[in-house]
Amino acid sequence: MEHTLLNDWFADDFFRVPVIAVLRGLTPAEAVRSASRAWDAGVQHVEVTIETPEAVPALAAVARAAAERGAAVGAGTIVRIEQLDAAASANASFTVSPGLDEGIIQESIRRGIPHLPGVATASEILRARAFGLAWLKAFPASVLGPDWVKAMKGPFPDVHFVATGGMKAATAGTYLSAGVSVVGLSSDFSSDAGAAAVRELLASTTRTTTGV
């Protein structure tokens, strides 16, 4: 899969909803419950981080549950090429990194796996663009802030940012207004009340987009 097709996958088949659930440090059962809250709230896709081998069963469990809903599940915190094998064995549809590793990008492109590298500087954005990637993870978004997004959208208007790291439903709208395409939320899906806040965020985003 060429990089242009990887970009198309993110744009056309994935990020049609401006929120992705990011699940970290959960048991398989907990991860499926949180993912189910996210799906029920209107979120389509979920990322399960696999910073350790012990986290892979949670990814696999969510991937099985997602298959019944036609949703895509990604493997997050990919920092070594070997983790791509674990992601594939767990049936992950895409991978996410906290930073930009050219080796991981090249191997992802070779394998045809949609990959979302993390960026925090203009130089890193330039390196990602050199590979033809247009969808990038702004991380840690809560530290970078919405003004960073506005500043980067100036020289890079064709880049789509996914803001993750310390994000909450209560503040996500600020980042979306600043030009972020998708916000990654985590702790909101640990409770029904949090999921309800995400549901309201998505409803308000729809109203804003449609002008209702």
Q: Residue 121: what residue type?
A: T
Q: What angle do CA 52, 20, 53 make, to 5 degrees?
A: 10
2, 54, 137, 150: the catalytic one is 137
Nearest alpha carbon to residue 44 among 18, 26, 63: 18
137 is catalytic: yes
Q: Residue 176: what residue type?
A: L
Report phi then psi at 177, rounded to 5: -65, -30
47 is catalytic: yes
2, 30, 47, 51: the catalytic one is 47
Q: Which residue has the tokens 């939320």?
A: 185
* 165: helix, strand or coil: coil
Radius of gyration of the CA atoms of the chain, in A? 16
State how far the Cα of 124 lies from the Cα of 160, in Å rounded to an integer: 14
Please identify every residue annotated as catalytic. Answer: 47, 137
